[in-house]
Structure 1
Amino acid sequence: MFSPAEIVDISIDNGIKKIQKPLTAKLILGFIGGAMISLGYLAYIRVAASIPADLASVQALVGASVFPIGLIVILLAGGELITGNMMAVGIAFFDKKVSFKELFINWVTITLANIVGALFVAYFFGYVVGLTHSGVYLEMLVSLAHHKIEASWVQAVISGIGCNWFVGLALWLCYGAKDGAGKILGIWFPVMIFVAIGFQHSVANCFVIPGAIFEGHATWMDFLKNFVFVYLGNIIGGSIFVSGFYHASYKHH
């Protein structure tokens, strides 16, 4: 592992590189990012749905253990995920290597591409292929979506903070590991824990709530209200609780 002080510099460098990618690459990689997180969530539903509801902890652990494949693919194979960019571009901004305008444009671009990728998986793989269309899979999809929708705005923001505190740490550990196995383990456990706890991830919600909408169990207004507050929480969790705290602690100008 690199030291925390070294990880700060690596994270800043990665944030700068994210800004410098061509627009076409950002859109393609953002689509991949949204799709991969959604496929991780689809895997969660497929492996956990048949576990009885009275074994809720087991259900959560089993589902959470497969969810991290999405972020592993994004970070190791290539992809852009807004929650990760909140951390990486955020720390480059704190270090004055990236302007607020560059940060804002990057976040908007990647967010929109992530949403398209998530909707693609929800509609085509979940609804059209039918992987979340019936039986216990539909029941779990709707249950997960309603749990997220029913959260108050305060709960959604705080849950979003918890989520991206862990996702930001997954990036942090990935950047700090010196080999592929270390990177995979560094990503796996923080992501698994945020999912097992039940924290809300704005892009993952772009899969599960629209999935329920396509099945006739939620509305687009439900989705929009949830997304705004979870997204705000994700910004605070990734940019402040990871980038801000570690930059303040390890980067001395």
Structure 2
Amino acid sequence: MGYLKPHEIAAATVETGVKKATQLNRSALILGFVAGAFIALGYLLYIRVIANTPAEWGSITTFIGASVFPVGLILVLIAGGELLTGNMMAVPLARMQRQITTSRMIKNICLITISNFAGAIFVAYFFGHIVGLTETGPYLAKTISIAEHKIDDSFLQAFVSGIGCNWLVALAVWLSYGAKDLSGKILGIWFPTMAFVAIGFQHVVANMFVIPAAIFAGGDITWLDYLQNFVPVFLGNLVGGSIFVAGIYKLAYLNKADEAVKSK
């Protein structure tokens, strides 16, 4: 069989969460940096693809952009990286199973948040600003438009949007853990990721790229605006990953009653 059954994915995810929480700080920071950069590159690709499409295309433009965005998450999960939104699912699940301590879980989330931000900012500044890939013609207009729409959301809107986002993104990660071959992993990652982008949900690491890119480009956005967006989206992503994926599948597949049934 080319994939794991759901209860097997749950067990594999716990093991992955333990590895993530117990790895060396240096490894976490390096892999967090590249993951932030990969997601930013996926977003940069999205902007470069859709910015020049005719307005008459309507939602087809969104579909095309959403179809290329998953490249970033594919790089994270196959080439290697530590992405905050995925860790918000796998590491809490390991904690729910009492395989790691709460302090290790919090430490991992903090390290990956910082290193993802560094990677995303790197791409926003050097490729977006210095090279000018987000600061000319339609690319500038699209970057600023996207960022403004994100910061215009209220705290509650951004929070709920964050939940929806990481429900889908964490499921993409979950499906990748369940696939045993490269093509299966890519397909498992692609469609849930494409769905969150097409819907327009807010992803905390993606926002680490596009909002700073708009700031660097001279948009009417401040770092305080970014912070006010970061907090609710971070919290929403945390709920989406830890409760709507990890918590649900913990109850479904990892409680003692279910284990007893499976053993018969």
Cross-structure match for 1:151: 153
Cross-structure match for 2:194: 192
Provide TM-score, normalisation by structure 1: 0.99
Q: Deviations over 1:61-86 (max 9, x none)?
A: 11111111111011111100000000
Shift of 1:58: 1.2
RMSD (Å) for aligned C-alpha atoms: 0.7
Cross-structure match for 1:249: 252
1:45 aligned residue (44, 47, 51): 47
3-state SS in 2 of match to 1:6:
helix
For 1:197, the aligned partner's letter is: I
Cα distance in structure 2, aligned partners of 1:56 and 1:211: 24
Cross-structure match for 2:204: 202
Provide TM-score, normalisation by structure 2: 0.95
Cα distance in structure 2, aligned partners of 1:249 and 1:66: 33
Sequence identity (%): 57
Cα distance in structure 1, aligned partners of 2:17 and 2:58: 38
For 1:123, the aligned partner's letter is: Y
For 2:245, the aligned partner's letter is: V
For 1:181, the aligned partner's letter is: S
Stretches of structure 2 lacking an aligned partner (at least 5 in a row)? 257-264
Shift of 1:172: 0.7
3-state SS in 1 of match to 2:41:
helix
Runs of 4+ in 1 over 4 A off after TM superposition: none
Cross-structure match for 2:23: 21
Shift of 1:93: 0.9
Cross-structure match for 1:119: 121
2:169 aligned residue (167, 170, 173): 167
Asked if the contact 2:73/2:189 (under 8 Å) is kept, the reply is: yes
Cross-structure match for 2:228: 225
3-state SS in 2 of match to 1:240:
helix
* Larger Cα-atom Rg: 2
Shift of 1:55: 2.6
Q: How many residues align?
A: 253
Cα distance in structure 2, aligned partners of 1:136 and 1:242: 37
